[in-house]
Every structure is written in structure tokens, then in C-alpha cells.
Amino acid sequence: MANITALQVKELRDKTGAGMADCKKALEEANGDMGAAIDELRKRGAASAEKRADRDTNEGVVATKVSENGQKASIAQVTCETDFVARNEEFVNFVGTIASVVFDKSPSTKEELLATDINGNKVEDRYNEILAKFSEKIDVSKFENLETSGYLVDYIHGGSKLGVIVEVSSSKINEESRALVRDIAMQVAAMNPSFLDRSTVTQEILDKEKELYKQQAQEEGKPADIAERVAEGRINKFYKENCLVEQQYVKDGNLTITDVLKQISEKAGEDVKINQFIRYSIGG
């Protein structure tokens, strides 16, 4: 067995971030070969991940990336078990790397993502190094890549546990109107709308809500015909609370998001609509 020096252990720790004892053991098993020791640590990370597969991951980080012209974006969410890991700089950087790979390579599955090459190594190798270092379950839970002829704006809430991307229909977005689109992204973060507008609410959901409201009104002693009218009124309230474009603007209660879109349209010189929004939230 090769004589493993403290300098070798430090070099392996610097390369992988793994614990000193793990680095020494990996070097001993690799007979002092640095490359083989790194591979050994990665294998241990993958093996330990299988043992932790049934654990809950209620902490983590959301990261986004948007092109300078606002026409391409990515969002990624990586979860872990503890806030201690979620706040670690190396873990945060790893999530940023995932968002960048999604942005650059547009993988459609987790398998494709992990197989992607970055700087001569697969993403999976880096993933296994992270698993080996932190010794807890870490999951690349979801990610998306977006491209548009309109404009994309992102928003990351403090702590990086909540991220939003909003796509609007116009590419004629200047700094002033971009700030308003970002305000809409903040609205999505704060108010968590379930739908974009009334057209995106399915009939099945409406029927369930209406039946619930009718039942509540009847339990309050309302006759059937009155209960029907009460249910219709509460459906309108449901739309205003759950459809983004009808929500009261959190920065000015006298406006709705539709009013904010009118302001953006005036600045763009054309009608601007929200095409879609994406909201990732750790634990939610």
C-alpha cells in the first residue's frame, strides 16, 4: 500500500470537497492514484444516494438563468435534507451549474442532464461528488428550458427557495417595462396564482368549486335558487383570487395585473400579454 501523505489528502479534499477521512481512505484504496481516488469518492456518493432514497428533501435551492436579449431562460430546483446544506456555497454553485447546463444544452430528462459533459466531466460526476461530500439525499428534482419570440424575466426570492419566470408576448421591453414585468414575477412569487386567466381554468375545477359553494350556502340555510346565485358570486371571487391577470396588484391595491399589463403595453407601443409563468418553490 502506498504511503499517503497529508499533502495528497489535502489535494483530494480541495478537488472534491469530501471529508479528510474519506479522502485518506479513497487514496489508500486507490494506492495513491489521485484520479482513481476521485472516481472512488464519486462511486461512494452514488452508493450512499441509493441508501438515502427514501428520505425527505424539504430544503434546497432554485436557480434561474436568462439571456441578455430575454428570449431564452432556464430554471432548476435541487433539493436536499437540511438548510445547512442548502446554504452551503458549493451546493448553491452546483445548482447554478445545473441551471446553466439546462440553459446551454436543453436536456429533456434528468438522465440526459446527468449525462451532459461539462469541462471534460459528466454532470453526474459532479453530482456524485456533491453527494459524497454532504452525506445526505440530494435530488435534481425539476428543471425547464424556455425560448420565446417575446420576452422572459426571472425573479428569485430571498434565500433562493422560490423562483419565477414570466414570459410576455412582446420583445419590445425596455428597462422601465422590464421592471414592471419583474413586478409581475414578484406577484407570482407572493400570491401563487393557480391559473393565468379564466380560459385556463378547466370546467371540472369550476364545477367542483361551484358545487362546494352551493353546498356551503345551503348549509347556511339558503334556498336552492339563492344558493345558486351565491355560488356564481363566489366563482367570480375565485377567479379574482386565483387567476393572475385578475389578481389585485400587491404593490398597488387600486390596480389589477391587467392594469399593469396596460402600462407595459403603452411603453412597448403594442398590446402585451402574459404567455405563461413558471413558479418553483422549495417545499411547496
The domain that contains 12 carries what CATH number? Answer: 1.10.8.10
Which of the four pLDDT bands, split at 50, 70 and 90, describes residue 100? very high
Comparing 152 with 212, the larger pLDDT belongs to 152
- In sequence order, the β-bridge partners of residue 173 are none
147 and 74 Cβ atoms separated by less than 8 Å: no
**pLDDT for residue 46:** 47
Q: What is the pLDDT of residues 257-273, one digit of tens each?
A: 999 999 999 999 999 99
Q: What is the pLDDT of residues 162-209, one digit of tens each?
A: 999 999 999 999 999 999 999 999 999 999 999 999 999 999 999 898
Rounded to 5 degrees, what are φ and ψ at 152? -115, 135
88 and 156 Cβ atoms separated by less than 8 Å: no
Q: Do residues 47 and 146 share a domain? A: no
DSSP letter for each residue of 215-239: HHHHHTT--HHHHHHHHHHHHHHHH
What does the alpha-carbon distance between residue 129 and residue 206 come to, in Å, rounded to a whole number? 48
Q: Do residues 64 and 45 share a domain? A: no
Residue 1 belongs to some domain of the structure? no
Q: Do residues 117 and 31 share a domain? A: no
What does the alpha-carbon distance between residue 9 and residue 27 come to, in Å, rounded to a whole number? 7
The chain-wide mean pLDDT, for the chain, equals 89
Collapsing DSSP states into helix, strand and coil, what is residue 152?
strand
Q: Do residues 221 and 112 share a domain? A: no
Mode of pairing for the β-strands spanning 72-80 and 151-156: unpaired
What does the alpha-carbon distance between residue 46 and residue 114 come to, in Å, rounded to a whole number? 12
Residue 44 belongs to some domain of the structure? yes
Residue 256 belongs to some domain of the structure? no
**Domain region containing 234:** 202-242
Residue 248 belongs to some domain of the structure? no
Q: Do residues 65 and 185 share a domain? A: yes
270 and 262 Cβ atoms separated by less than 8 Å: no
